[in-house]
Structure 1
């Protein structure tokens, strides 16, 4: 959406009602976003242990190691007291690269004592294979811009390379991006509506079976290609595509011979049998359009869907989407 003021953002308006977060100053937004994304009951309970902001913070404002959730959050935060239509300063986004160096490369003894414990904890969790996802965020209260996104993507590629080199047995998903008003509003709205995607998506006339239940719900069963799933993932990203799913994509790890790694192997090497090996994908949509086959009211051709959130099949979708190159039809 187009923003003309901070109060155009539902997230920002809701944040102003969180009096319990005001004691954290300009980190209140980062903590609120972490609470929503991490589905935490009360971020205040862990705030003293994860806030690293200060004069010697190595450009890391929040470092949260969640072994139970198998994830790490590294957050660099910027909060403007006034609305900035031009977006956040790109130089602040570029500083995240230094935070990455501090977390992975710097000698631990050279890390400022005040944040050394958190950095050591993160490295230990990575070494133990306890982490499956690393979230690196430049979080701000401005409209999102390409100028801020580019350095985060570069940081993400650098982190992926380091992780593969330092922890070759692990396949850790790296989510390195800016979290501005656009993403914050999506995160906030996801608490109220399980389907964040509202686009009309063409399905290229897929044949299938239609079922209706007392006007409460209706469904359409069909088969789709792995290529279609991968395109959805690449176009909308994990947070939006899996917004109604209690579990997002958890990654794959060859060392553990995980089921997700086998999904990828089947899609790459045995795509002809993928349909019978897989238990399918279930998705919620706002609406769908189909054409009934004459004489067969339960049979039709799916023309398009409006909105989508995958509620069963996140592991299948994620596995297929992390295969390099063009995906075969499955």
Structure 2
């Protein structure tokens, strides 16, 4: 995405040079093949910290002539949200994006939520079903409507999106009156991209200086860090939050969750304690951990003060939000606090991680220190062109600047689950694979090796690229698809199809190898095969088995939800692969020669 630099009417605001977020976007050459949708994928990565945009693209892009204005429908049931996106990338200098494309989202909302499923085009039928089922089952609690573009935001677009928001609220009220679904429509343009990008560069967004009068306090130092331990008046939090709002929580994986009138709700309890037992608040509350750029103790004639530069509340968002929601600023409440400063980026990550250990968003992080992940990471270091964080997420930077050799932790878990015969879990429970001890130990155990991960990951990538290649061929000239390719594309348009096909192909391993396979964990392409090379080896197998995917359709009719239906469909697929084995014997023989069994 390059803009002219001679005119003041350039798409980047006439500044004569690209903004940092544009430079970061341009560097994502892996997104170039997705056209306008690349902006939507980039936005998802920035906003939600998604590392594996390749897998997201394979599942979420619906773009085409009959997409009913839905370019991307991204659904994350494990986190409870969905994003419906219209994308537009301008190659010319404009002052704003076309407002009519924002109003097109009314069409998207109407088709996705109001029209009978049987009337929907094939391209959006599966995501519409997944959205409706997710809301009905209580798994989707928030829906974002995005108009994503590379131009300045405008009031005209904002007005159109307000109408879209009301349309969606009305549709949800009619169909899901008993569900409380939060809805928000946003224009994601130059200013928003710049804000989101800047937020990923530093964990501290509030850079003001603050002065806190001290009653007591002391300093603690460690390797590469120091901290000042004291207590702060609740009035300080009340005042500071009113000014800076949720920017105070930039290093906290959770914002304020709100409070309900229930004694069992922690935030309501915090408010009640502050109002009724202010003198005991200090001993009842766990306190705050606050990252700062710097701090200094200053002694006056009568009192000491703490001067802090910049702040982000790592732990204590609920306490801060609850205090700030009080009608009156509390005058007698003191809150335990420690102000931490460090220039060590890895240490900052760990501080954030360990101070938010109850949050499932970083589920994989909390496996990163177990013996299995340590062993896998060490093994992976010996495999060419492969990086693995051992469960730890790569951080905000990896959702912006792609690390081409990185195997994202969640995708690794999904590929293992699919290869080992559980496509339902692979597609619907990617977070649970890391949270649930039973699931985790099923796929990450003493038999799991780094080269087996490459084996599974390569198959997943091969199937994803099969789908994307068919989509690209259809978009270039729909008539160029053969009848067999049209059937495959029809299959791939169903949500969960990629993981189902991975499981089905894996289930045919004995046919490919012509022998018993008592333990699939022992199979790999050896420890010298890179992920890219593994994908290439699998391509030959995927090419000859993907045309048989119609046998798997029955497992996707109502979404990929039933393990029994998946097993039944996979059994039929296996039978057909066995019947056609002789005609593919030469390819199976070449594949067999690449297999290493330990």
- Shorter-normalised TM range: 0.7 to 0.9
Q: Which residue of 2 aligns with 1:92?
A: 101
Q: Which residue of 2 aligns with 1:312?
A: 315
Which of 1 and 2 has higher RCO (CA within 8 Å, sep 6+)? 1
Displacement, 1:50?
A: 0.5
Q: Which residue of 2 aligns with 1:129?
A: 138
CA deviations on 1:93-147 (whole Å, 9 max, x unpaired) are 3333333333333333333221111011011111111123322222111223333
Q: Which residue of 1 aligns with 2:301?
A: 294
**Partners of 1:110 and 1:133 in 2: how far apart?**
25
158, 166, 184: which is aligned to 1:149?
158
Q: Which range is displaced more, 125-134 or 280-289?
A: 280-289
Higher strand share: 1
**Partners of 2:56 and 2:263 in 1: how far apart?**
31
**Partners of 1:253 and 1:272 in 2: how far apart?**
17
Q: Does structure 1 retain, via aligned residues, the 8 Å contact 2:234–2:323? A: no
RMSD: 3.9
177, 192, 196: which is aligned to 2:205?
196
77, 87, 100: which is aligned to 1:67?
77
**Partners of 1:152 and 1:319 in 2: how far apart?**
31
SS in 1 for 2:130: helix
**Partners of 2:289 and 2:191 in 1: how far apart?**
27
Q: Does structure 1 retain, via aligned residues, the 8 Å contact 2:263–2:269? A: no
Q: Does structure 2 retain, via aligned residues, the 8 Å contact 1:229–1:317? A: no
**Partners of 2:266 and 2:184 in 1: how far apart?**
23
**Partners of 1:94 and 1:209 in 2: how far apart?**
58
SS in 2 for 1:247: coil
**Partners of 2:263 and 2:40 in 1: how far apart?**
33
Q: Which runs of 5+ in 2 are unaligned?
A: 1-11, 331-598
**Partners of 2:205 and 2:316 in 1: how far apart?**
17
**Partners of 2:174 and 2:248 in 1: how far apart?**
30
Displacement, 1:181?
A: 1.9
**Partners of 1:6 and 1:170 in 2: how far apart?**
49
263, 267, 290: which is aligned to 1:263?
267
Displacement, 1:264?
A: 4.4
**Partners of 1:316 and 1:222 in 2: how far apart?**
12
Q: Which residue of 1 aligns with 2:53?
A: 43
Note closer, same or farther for the CA distance 1:25–1:310 as it changes in structure 2 (3 Å cut): same
SS in 2 for 1:106: coil
Displacement, 1:22?
A: 1.0
Displacement, 1:161?
A: 6.2
**Partners of 2:329 and 2:269 in 1: how far apart?**
14
Q: Which range is displaced more, 21-30 or 68-77?
A: 68-77
Q: Which residue of 1 aligns with 2:126?
A: 117
SS in 2 for 1:222: strand
Note closer, same or farther for the CA distance 1:208–1:158 as it changes in structure 2 (3 Å cut): farther
Q: Does structure 1 retain, via aligned residues, the 8 Å contact 2:45–2:53? A: yes
Q: Which runs of 5+ in 1 are unaligned?
A: none
Corresponding pairs, count: 312
Displacement, 1:80?
A: 0.8
**Partners of 1:162 and 1:177 in 2: how far apart?**
18
Note closer, same or farther for the CA distance 1:74–1:242 as it changes in structure 2 (3 Å cut): farther
Larger Rg: 1 or 2? 2
240, 244, 257: which is aligned to 2:251?
244
CA deviations on 1:217-251 (whole Å, 9 max, x unpaired) are 4546313347546624xx65x5x443212334557
Note closer, same or farther for the CA distance 1:269–1:163 as it changes in structure 2 (3 Å cut): farther
Q: Which residue of 2 aligns with 1:22?
A: 32
Note closer, same or farther for the CA distance 1:6–1:30 as it changes in structure 2 (3 Å cut): farther
| TM-score in terms of structure 2 length | 0.45
